[in-house]
Amino acid sequence: MVWDYYNGKVLFVTGGSGFIGTALLWRLLSQSSPERVYVLCRGGYAKAEEKWSSMLPPSTAKILTDSQLLTVLDGELGNTATMDLPEETLQMLKGTVHIVIHAACSVQLQNSLRELSYSVMAPSLCLTKYALKFPNLERFVFFSTAYANAHLWQTSKSSDVRVDERIYPLSTESEDYYQSALDSWRAVQSTGSSDEYDAHDFPWPYAYAKHLTERLVLQQVSERNKLDKVLIIRPSVIGPADKLPYPGYATSQGTPSTACAAAYMLHPGRQITLASRCEKPGQEATIDEVPVDVVVDRVLVHVAMGTSGLVHAVSGEQSRLSVDEWWHAFKKERRIPWNAKLAWTAGDWHSPNLHQMARRFKIIGTSFAFSEQKTVQVAEKLQGQKGNLMLFADRSLPYSLHLRRHHIHHMAIQHAKSNKWPACYAKVFCRKGKSLAQLDKQVKA
Ligand SMILES: NC(=O)c1ccc[n+]([C@@H]2O[C@H](COP(=O)([O-])OP(=O)(O)OC[C@H]3O[C@@H](n4cnc5c(N)ncnc54)[C@H](OP(=O)(O)O)[C@@H]3O)[C@@H](O)[C@H]2O)c1
């Protein structure tokens, strides 16, 4: 069974105090008994505890804060493999770890490629090289994004672009994408860009940074004949948990469509301008939002089942939303009825005329059909043993934003502040959600 795989294993997890990492550790420690889980966190245990306690109600946070199996290491990823850890800790990790889960990342869509080379690419590459030296290494997991291939929207004419669980080379299909990754990495380090980046229209430098890092990670593992050990997870737009650690679990920053809802909530005009090339954008443009607990279960199941290569953690064709469905749910959340409409233009995703959220997220108005073939296959293998695993998003109930009211409210305050509007706008327009203390009572009940 899936959870048995983790019993007695030693794991090293980065980003374990972040949105996904916290949910992942909670699920792992609720279901299995690893020998030890080392969690890298800048600021050490005090910072990790503070973050867990800010995201989870006390009774839920206990699984992490009271765990005897978890050790927080005070360190930071950078452009060397030392992570600011003492040499003896590095040797201990090297000698004991079976599974590395690398979820730490600076999720700054707009940062320049040069900045991302320091905050995303170099740290991931250093960690990969270090982990590949572990004699007991069974699995290495790297978190990428499904939008690493979002440039395909601009090269395709389709209004629904299919993306498979594979690498899409950036020159020709037959290019040696390991070699091109090394060449491009050298170029990014010396000039802050690369020919292949300049030749494609990625929505954000971050998407290309993940595309290049995927190839660099694969190049490293292939050079050492360890391709079977690497798993690259590509989540789409992550949304609040359907069920675990509790329904609605989220962070304000971690769920992009919450930020959109907050900004639309305070929009002063009657029109929100978005771009799409779809003929009927409301129905044809889609949002692939996947609950964080589905992402976590996909990671833990694929690791346990030995899947290697690229895996999408998405809602997929079955469960993604049309923009109209999302808009319908959004309108129910505004306290004061309001007749704002979505105004679609045929312009492109960089157009300065779009609403600021569309300019920031770019992919609003697109549609991607992300394949989930590898998870379908794993689910078939697990027939009868699926238990409470959440491998697919459940859309049996109408889509709703009500579980994230608290975060919409919080983001609306931030949005008001950044626009120099009174913070009370948030109170006027947004419904009030449940605080962690209220949730705690609910969890205990
Ligand atoms: N959220 C999404 O919608 C989404 C979608 C697709 C893919 N992803 C990917 O999923 C992964 C996890 O995302 P998330 O939403 O959980 O992000 P998150 O909430 O921002 O968490 C990121 C974590 O990484 C840590 N971190 C960042 N840089 C670090 C460094 N140099 N050294 C050590 N720790 C560092 C942060 O620690 P501090 O607290 O110290 O900053 C934080 O704990 C990322 O790789 C992200 O690209 C996320």
Q: Which residue out of 80, 107, 118, 294 has the highest number of ligand 1 atoms within 8 Å of its CB and is therefore the one to mutate?
A: 107
Residue 42 CA, closest ligand 1 atom number? 40
Residue 254 is predicted with a pLDDT of: 81
Task: Give the residue, by CA position, lying nearest to ligand 1 atom 2.
Answer: 238
Question: Is the distance from the beta carbon of residue 116 to the nearest atom of ligand 1 less than 6 Å?
Answer: no
Q: Whole-angstrom distance between the N-terminal and C-terminal Cα of the chain?
A: 30
Question: Is the distance from the beta carbon of residue 254 to the nearest atom of ligand 1 less than 6 Å?
Answer: yes
* Packed helices 436-444 and 58-65: angle between N→C axes, nearest 10 degrees: 80
Question: Is the distance from the beta carbon of residue 291 to the nearest atom of ligand 1 less than 6 Å?
Answer: no
Residue spans of the chain under pLDDT 50: none
Question: Is the distance from the beta carbon of residue 104 to the nearest atom of ligand 1 less than 6 Å?
Answer: yes
Q: Ligand 1 mean position to 123 CA, how many Å?
A: 12
**Residue 72, strand partner residues:** 39
Question: Is the distance from the beta carbon of residue 252 to the nearest atom of ligand 1 less than 6 Å?
Answer: no
Residue 121 is predicted with a pLDDT of: 97
Residue 14 CA, closest ligand 1 atom number? 34
Residue 43 CA, closest ligand 1 atom number? 40
Per-residue pLDDT tens over the stretch 256-269: 999 999 999 999 88
Q: Ligand 1 mean position to 24 CA, how many Å?
A: 12
Task: Give the residue, by CA position, lying nearest to ligand 1 atom 43.
Answer: 18
Q: Which residue out of 100, 105, 363 has the highest number of ligand 1 atoms within 8 Å of its CB and is therefore the one to mutate?
A: 105
Q: Whole-angstrom Cα distance, residue 409 to residue 81? A: 40
Residue 129 CB burial class (10 angstroms; 0-12, 13-18, ≥19):
middle
Question: Is the distance from the beta carbon of residue 76 to the nearest atom of ligand 1 less than 6 Å?
Answer: yes
Task: Give the residue, by CA position, lying nearest to ligand 1 atom 42.
Answer: 18
Residue 444 is predicted with a pLDDT of: 63
Q: Do residues 413 and 29 lie in contact, with contact meaning Cβ atoms separated by under 8 Å?
A: no
Q: Ligand 1 mean position to 256 CA, how many Å?
A: 13
Residue 16 CA, closest ligand 1 atom number? 43
Residue 438 is predicted with a pLDDT of: 74
Question: Is the distance from the beta carbon of residue 111 to the nearest atom of ligand 1 less than 6 Å?
Answer: no
Q: What is the 3-state secondary structure (H, E, C) of the chain?
A: CHHHHHCCCEEEEECCCCHHHHHHHHHHHHHCCCCEEEEEECCHHHHHHHHHHHHCCHHHHHHHHCCCCEEEEECCCCCCCCCCCCHHHHHHHHHHCCEEEECCCCCCCCCCHHHHHHHHHHHHHHHHHHHCCCCCCCEEEEECCHHHHCCHHHHCCCCCEEECCCCCCCCCCCCCHHHHHHHHHHHHHHHCCCHHHHHCCCCCHHHHHHHHHHHHHHHHHHHCCCHHHEEEEEECEEECCCCCCCCCCCCCCCCHHHHHHHHHHCCCCCEEEEECCCCCHHHHCEECEEEHHHHHHHHHHHHHHCCCEEEEECCHHHHCEEHHHHHHHHHHHECCCCCCEEEEECCCCCCCCCCHHHHHHCCCCCCEEECCHHHHHHHHHCCCCCCCCCCCCCCCCCCCCHHHHHHHHHHHHHHHHHCCCCCHHHHHHECCCCCHHHHHHHHHC
pTM: 0.97
Task: Give the residue, by CA position, lying nearest to ligand 1 atom 30.
Answer: 77
Residue 78 CA, closest ligand 1 atom number? 31
Q: Ligand 1 mean position to 344 CA, how many Å?
A: 33
Question: Is the distance from the beta carbon of residue 205 to the nearest atom of ligand 1 less than 6 Å?
Answer: no
Question: Is the distance from the beta carbon of residue 77 to the nearest atom of ligand 1 less than 6 Å?
Answer: yes
**Residue 74, strand partner residues:** 41
Question: Is the distance from the beta carbon of residue 217 to the nearest atom of ligand 1 less than 6 Å?
Answer: no
Task: Give the residue, by CA position, lying nearest to ligand 1 atom 13.
Answer: 20
Q: Which residue out of 13, 20, 117 has the highest number of ligand 1 atoms within 8 Å of its CB and is therefore the one to mutate?
A: 20
Question: Is the distance from the beta carbon of residue 101 to the nearest atom of ligand 1 less than 6 Å?
Answer: no
Q: Ligand 1 mean position to 15 CA, how many Å?
A: 5
Residue 131 is predicted with a pLDDT of: 98
Residue 439 is predicted with a pLDDT of: 67
